[in-house]
C-alpha cells in the first residue's frame, strides 16, 4: 500500500481515470521498509545483549592477571586486523561477533589501567557501583543541560556535589548549602578552563575588555600542563603565564614569597594579576602548595585562586589528611577527579565555586523559550549549561550518587587508606635497600624512588641514564609491573602510583622484587664493563 501522502498528491478528483492512475501508481510503488524503532530498543534483545556484556566484563576482571599490563604492539596493529570499511549490513548475530573482536583483538592491545600491577601515571579507579552507574546513566540517556530538560538529574547533581564536598571536608562556602555550589564535568582540564573564564570576565568587567592582553596567570613549574593549555584557550598570552620555579628542599611546593615577587614585578610593569593555580598533589611528585599563604598573596591583588586537587582531592575524605587542604576556605574554586581514586569510573570531575553567579555570568547563555518550563517560573533553579563550556552534558550524578550510596564515606576512607598503607610499605622496602633512595617525600599513595648511581661512575647525567634504563627493563617484564617516570630539578626518578581497585599487598611485594632483580642485572653489567 502506497503512503497516504502519495495518494493525496496524485488524486485531484477530476475523473475516474485519475483514480485508476492512482491505483496503478500505488501498485507500482515499492512498499516502505518496516519501521525499526521498536527493534532498536527492544527490551528482550537489550536484556540478552546486556548479559553478554556483563559476562565479558566479569571475565575480564576475573582474568586480569593473564594480561600484560602494557601490550607489546606496534602502531597499526589493530588497523591491520579490522576491515577498512564498516559493514553495509550487519552480519548474523553481529553483537556477539563484535564482542568476540573485543575479546580477541581489542583487549590484548590495551594498557590495562585496572590491572593490580598498574602503577604508572595516576589510577583510574573502578567499582561495580561506578561501572553499573555508568551503564544506568547511558541507558536512561537524558541530557540535563537545564533544570527543565531533566529536573531530577539537575537536583541530584546539586545533592551529590554537596554530599561529596562534605565528605571531603570542604568549607560550606563552596557548597550549595553555604551559598556556593558544585557541578560534575569530564576532567580537571574543563574545571580549570571554567575557573579561568569566570576570573577573566570578572577582571575585565573591572578594568575594561581591551586590557585582556595585560592579564597574567601564575602557577609553579610542577603545575599540570592542563593549566597552561586552558590559559591559552581562555585568551591569555603565552608570555603571560608565569611558571614559578620550585626547589627540592621545599618539597617542590609553590613558594608564597616567590609568588609575591612575581606579582609585584608584573604590577610594576603595568600588568594585571588574574589567577593563581594552587595544587594539592602535583602530577610528578604529589607536592602540596601552601593554599592559605597563596590565597593571602592573591587577595592583595584581587586575583582568583583555583585549587587543582585532581588526584589528591580524593584523599581528603580521610580526616587525618585534611590538613593538606588548609586554606581552601579562602579559595575561589576547587576541583578534583572522583574517577581517579574514589571509585567513580571515568569520567567524573567535581568543580566547586564560591560565587556561582560569576561562573554563570561568564558561561551563561540567553535562554530560549524552548528551554523554559512553567514549573520553574519564580524559582531560582540551576541550569548547568551555564556552569560549563558545553551545553550537552552527561548524567554523571547518577553514577557518583550510586557510588556514595553503595560504599558510604567510611567505605571510601577504607579504600584510600588501603592504598596509602601499601605505598608506605613499598617506601619501607625502598629505604631498606641501600642501592636505592626515596627521591621525593611521600604524602599519599605515590612513591618516587631511584637507583643510586655508583660513586665511581659519578654525575647526575649518568644516574639519570641508569634509572631510565631501569624503568625500561621493569616495564618490559611480561608479568608487570608497569610504572612511569618524572624528572624534577634535573633528577630522573621512577614513580610507583598505587591506586588500582584490584591491587593487593602481594602485588606490591612482587613489583619490588622485579625492580630489585632488574637493578641487580643493570649494576652487574656496569661493573663488568668497568
DSSP characters for 194-235? HHHHHHHHHHHHHH-GGGGGGEEEEEETTS-HHHHHHHHHTT
CA 67 – CA 108 distance, rounded (Å): 7
Q: Which of 31-45, 79-93, 142-156, 406-420 has the lowest mean pLDDT?
A: 31-45
CA 146 – CA 144 distance, rounded (Å): 5
What is the pLDDT at residue 13?
A: 40
Residue 371 and residue 429 in one domain: no
Residue 144 and residue 289 in one domain: yes
CA 84 – CA 355 distance, rounded (Å): 51
**The domain boundary residue, chosen from 357, 378, 406:** 406
**Domain contains 225:** yes
Per residue in 494-509, pLDDT (tens digit) is 999 999 999 999 999 9
Residue 350 and residue 486 in one domain: no
What is the pLDDT at residue 9?
A: 37
The stretch 376-402 carries a mean pLDDT of 88
**Domain contains 444:** yes
Q: Which of 122-126, 175-179, 403-407, 419-423 has the lowest mean pLDDT?
A: 122-126
Look at residues 68, 137, 159 and name the one whose alpha carbon lies nearest to residue 345: 137
**Domain contains 34:** no
**Domain contains 119:** no
Residue 381 and residue 412 in one domain: no
Q: Is the pLDDT of residue 484 over 60?
A: yes
Per residue in 43-88, pLDDT (tens digit) is 999 999 999 999 999 999 999 888 899 998 999 999 999 999 999 9
Q: Is the pLDDT of residue 238 over 90?
A: yes
Mean of the per-residue pLDDT values of the chain: 90
**Domain contains 312:** yes
Per residue in 339-380, pLDDT (tens digit) is 999 999 999 999 999 999 999 999 998 766 556 665 556 557
Residue 135 and residue 97 in one domain: no
What is the pLDDT at residue 191?
A: 97
Residue 308 C-alpha from the chain's centroid: 12
What is the pLDDT at residue 367?
A: 64
What is the pLDDT at residue 168?
A: 98
Q: Is the pLDDT of residue 407 over 70?
A: yes
What is the pLDDT at residue 381?
A: 87
Identify the residue with better confidence: 218 or 452.
218
CA 446 – CA 119 distance, rounded (Å): 9
Look at residues 70, 329, 343 and name the one whose alpha carbon lies nearest to residue 179: 329
Q: Which of 61-65, 159-163, 217-221, 324-328 has the lowest mean pLDDT?
A: 61-65
Look at residues 481, 511, 500 and name the one whose alpha carbon lies nearest to residue 418: 500
**Can you read off the three cell numbers belonging to residue 118?**
598498574
**Domain contains 192:** yes
We report the CATH number of the domain holding residue 319 as 3.40.640.10
Residue 285 and residue 421 in one domain: no
Q: Is the pLDDT of residue 461 over 60?
A: yes
**Domain contains 6:** no
What is the pLDDT at residue 476?
A: 93
Residue 392 and residue 446 in one domain: no
Per residue in 423-437, pLDDT (tens digit) is 999 999 999 999 999
Per residue in 4-46, pLDDT (tens digit) is 343 333 333 444 343 333 333 344 555 555 556 557 889 999 9
Query: How many structural domains are present in the chain?
Result: 3
What is the pLDDT at residue 373?
A: 60
Residue 290 and residue 394 in one domain: yes
Measure Cα distances from 441 to 69, 285, 312, 343, 413 in Å: 27, 8, 14, 25, 22
Categorize the per-residue pLDDT at 526 as very low, low, confident or very high, splitting at 50, 70 and 90: confident
Residue 177 and residue 233 in one domain: yes
- Residue-number span of the structural domain to which 98 is assigned: 45-82+93-110
Q: Is the pLDDT of residue 143 over 50?
A: yes
Residue 292 and residue 318 in one domain: yes
What is the pLDDT at residue 35?
A: 57
We report the CATH number of the domain holding residue 503 as 3.90.1150.10
Q: Is the pLDDT of residue 243 over 90?
A: yes
Residues making up the chain, counted from first to last: 530
Categorize the per-residue pLDDT at 480 as very low, low, confident or very high, splitting at 50, 70 and 90: confident
Residue 254 and residue 158 in one domain: yes
What is the pLDDT at residue 365?
A: 86
CB 494 within 8 A of CB 437: no
**Domain contains 5:** no
H or E element that contains 495: strand 491-497
Residue 324 and residue 446 in one domain: no
**Can you read off the three cell numbers belonging to residue 312?**
589528591
Amino acid at each position: 500500500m502506497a503512503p497516504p501522502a502519495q495518494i493525496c498528491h496524485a488524486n485531484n478528483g477530476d475523473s475516474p481515470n485519475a483514480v485508476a492512475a492512482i491505483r496503478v501508481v500505488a501498485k507500482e510503488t515499492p512498499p516502505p521498509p518496516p519501521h525499526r524503532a521498536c527493534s532498536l530498543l527492544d527490551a528482550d534483545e537489550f536484556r540478552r545483549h546486556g548479559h553478554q556484556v556483563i559476562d565479558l566484563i566479569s571475565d575480564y576482571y576475573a582474568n586480569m592477571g593473564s594480561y600484560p599490563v602494557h601490550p607489546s604492539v606496534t602502531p597499526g596493529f589493530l588497523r591491520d586486523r579490522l576491515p577498512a570499511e564498516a559493514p553495509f549490513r550487519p552480519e548474523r548475530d553481529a553483537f556477539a561477533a563484535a564482542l568476540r573482536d573485543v575479546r580477541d583483538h581489542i583487549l590484548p592491545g590495551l594498557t590495562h589501567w585496572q590491572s593490580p600491577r598498574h602503577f604508572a601515571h595516576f589510577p583510574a579507579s573502578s567499582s561495580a557501583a561506578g561501572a553499573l552507574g555508568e551503564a544506568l546513566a547511558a541507558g536512561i540517556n537524558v541530557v540535563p543541560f537545564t533544570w527543565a530538560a531533566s529536573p531530577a538529574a539537575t537536583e541530584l547533581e546539586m545533592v551529590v556535589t554537596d554530599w561529596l564536598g562534605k565528605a571531603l571536608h570542604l568549607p560550606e562556602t563552596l557548597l550549595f548549602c553555604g551559598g556556593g555550589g558544585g557541578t560534575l564535568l569530564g576532567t580537571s582540564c574543563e574545571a580549570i578552563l571554567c575557573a579561568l573564564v569566570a576570573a577573566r570576565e570578572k577582571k575585565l568587567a573591572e578594568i575594561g575588555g581591551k586590557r585582556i592582553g595585560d592579564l597574567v596567570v601564575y602557577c609553579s613549574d610542577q603545575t599540570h600542563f592542563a593549566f597552561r593549555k586552558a590559559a591559552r584557550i581562555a585568551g591569555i598570552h603565552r608570555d603571560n603565564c608565569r611558571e614559578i620555579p620550585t626547589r627540592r628542599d621545599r618539597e617542590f611546593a609553590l613558594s608564597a614569597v616567590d609568588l609575591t615577587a612575581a606579582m609585584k614585578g608584573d604590577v610594576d610593569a603595568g600588568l594585571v594579576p588574574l589567577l593563581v593555580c594552587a595544587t594539592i598533589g602535583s602530577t610528578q611528585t604529589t607536592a602540596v602548595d601552601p593554599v592559605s599563604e597563596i590565597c593571602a598573596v592573591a587577595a592583595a591583588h584581587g586575583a582568583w585562586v583555583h585549587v587543582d586537587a585532581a588526584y589528591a582531592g580524593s584523599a581528603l575524605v580521610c580526616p587525618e589528611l585534611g590538613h593538606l587542604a588548609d586554606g581552601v576556605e579562602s579559595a575561589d574554586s576547587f576541583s578534583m577527579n572522583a574517577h581517579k581514586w574514589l571509585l567513580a569510573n571515568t569520567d567524573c570531575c567535581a568543580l566547586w565555586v564560591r560565587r556561582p553567579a560569576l561562573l554563570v555570568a561568564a558561561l551563561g547563555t540567553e535562554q530560549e523559550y524552548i528551554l523554559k518550563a512553567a514549573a520553574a517560573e519564580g524559582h531560582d533553579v540551576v541550569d548547568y549549561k551555564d556552569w560549563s563550556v558545553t551545553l550537552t552534558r552527561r548524567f554523571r550524578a547518577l553514577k557518583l550518587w550510586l557510588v556514595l550510596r553503595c560504599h558510604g564515606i567510611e567505605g571510601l576512607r577504607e579504600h584510600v587508606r588501603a592504598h596509602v598503607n601499601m605505598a608506605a610499605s613499598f617506601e619501607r622496602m625502598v629505604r631498606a635497600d641501600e642501592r636505592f633512595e626515596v627521591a621525593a617525600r611521600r604524602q599519599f599513595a605515590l612513591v618516587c624512588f631511584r637507583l643510586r648511581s655508583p660513586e665511581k661512575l659519578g654525575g647526575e647525567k649518568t644516574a639519570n641514564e641508569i634509572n631510565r634504563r631501569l624503568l625500561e627493563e621493569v616495564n618490559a617484564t611480561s608479568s608487570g609491573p608497569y610504572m612511569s617516570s618524572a624528572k624534577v630539578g634535573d633528577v630522573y626518578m621512577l614513580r610507583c602510583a598505587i591506586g588500582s581497585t584490584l591491587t593487593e599487598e602481594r602485588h606490591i611485594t612482587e613489583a619490588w622484587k622485579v625492580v630489585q632483580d632488574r637493578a641487580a642485572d643493570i649494576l652487574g653489567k656496569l661493573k663488568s664493563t668497568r
